[in-house]
């Protein structure tokens, strides 16, 4: 296959949709999203890079009314209505035994052996890469015309018990509500730092 060169910036409208004008939503328009849209998000995010292509992200998609109620019982008071009314919420998890999949995910090296017998390294790698993939999920959803509301205000043990009892090697990272954001639900944009504030070119 010929590798295409993509060496031009995206159109300004695309950058606005993904970054400059995209917001974190606290409320949702009454407009459902389909399972096909959830799959489309995954099919984009999985193409973005992870260490040794480990793909340590595991997602539980909360879509049914029953599952939304179960999730609402696990989140902080201020986040309950968000997960109850969002068309879908992604529980962003990581697999501490992701290395078992490396023989097919990274076939040109024996990457599985790099992680065997070193659980601390595995957990650090799984968490790092699932965080990256969670961020890719937000950008993929926005690129597809959807909005996100990420949440870390929840009881991890409760989520673990409610959704991951059959996956003891999976851990929760964060939750991301997805849908069409209600513009009435956002606060004024918080300040963002200028380049000089937190950057150093050496």
Whether residue 112 contacts residue 102, with contact meaning beta carbons closer than 8 Å, is answered with yes
> In this chain, which stretch among 5-13, 44-52, 54-62, 186-194 interacts with ligand FMN, using CB under 6 A?
186-194
| Residue 88 binds ligand FMN (CB under 6 A) | no
Only one of the segments 6-14, 21-29, 37-45, 63-71 lies at the binding site for ligand FMN (rule: CB under 6 A); that segment is: 21-29
Residue 189 as a binder of ligand FMN (CB under 6 A): the answer is yes
Closest CB to ligand FMN among 79 and 129? 79
Question: Taking the CA of residue 56 as centre, how many other CA atoms within 13 Å lie in the half-sphere pointing to its CB?
Answer: 28
Closest approach, Cβ 134 to ligand FMN, in A, equals 7
Instruction: Indicate the length of the chain as a whole number.
Output: 202
Cα separation, 38 vs 43, whole angstroms:
9
Reference 26, options 121, 127, 147, 154; nearest CA is 147
Rounded to a whole number of angstroms, the minimum distance from the CB of residue 75 to ligand FMN is: 8
Two tokens at 89? 């919420």
Please give the residues from 135 up to 174 whose contact with ligand FMN meets the rule CB under 6 A: 150-153, 174
Number of C-beta neighbours around residue 43 at 10 A: 11
Residue 28 lies near ligand FMN (rule: CB under 6 A): no
Element (DSSP H or E) covering residue 44: helix 35-45
The least CB distance from residue 91 to ligand FMN, in Å, is 13
Q: For residues 166 and 184, which CB has a smaller minimum distance to ligand FMN in the complex?
A: 184
Distance CA 76, CA 111 (A): 39
Q: Which residues bind ligand FMN (CB under 6 A)?
A: 23-24, 26, 79, 150-153, 174, 186, 189-190
């Amino acid at each position: 296959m010929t590798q295409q060169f993509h060496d031009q910036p995206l159109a300004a409208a695309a950058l606005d949709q993904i970054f400059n004008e995209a917001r974190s939503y606290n409320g949702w328009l009454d407009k459902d999203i389909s399972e096909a849209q959830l799959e489309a998000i995954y099919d984009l995010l999985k193409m973005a890079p992870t260490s040794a292509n480990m793909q340590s992200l595991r997602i539980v998609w909360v879509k049914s009314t029953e599952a939304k109620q179960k999730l609402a019982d696990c989140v902080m008071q201020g986040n309950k209505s968000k997960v109850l009314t969002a068309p879908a919420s992604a529980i962003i998890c990581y697999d501490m035994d992701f290395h078992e999949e490396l023989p097919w995910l990274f076939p040109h090296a024996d990457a599985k052996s790099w992680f065997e017998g070193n659980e601390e390294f595995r957990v650090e790698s799984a968490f790092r890469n699932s965080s990256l993939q969670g961020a890719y999920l937000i950008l993929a959803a926005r690129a597809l015309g959807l909005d996100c509301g990420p949440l870390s205000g929840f009881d991890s043990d409760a989520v673990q018990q409610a959704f991951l009892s059959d996956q003891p090697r999976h851990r929760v990272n964060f939750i991301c509500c997805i849908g069409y954001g209600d513009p009435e639900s956002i606060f004024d944009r918080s300040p963002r730092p200028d380049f000089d504030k937190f950057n150093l070119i050496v």
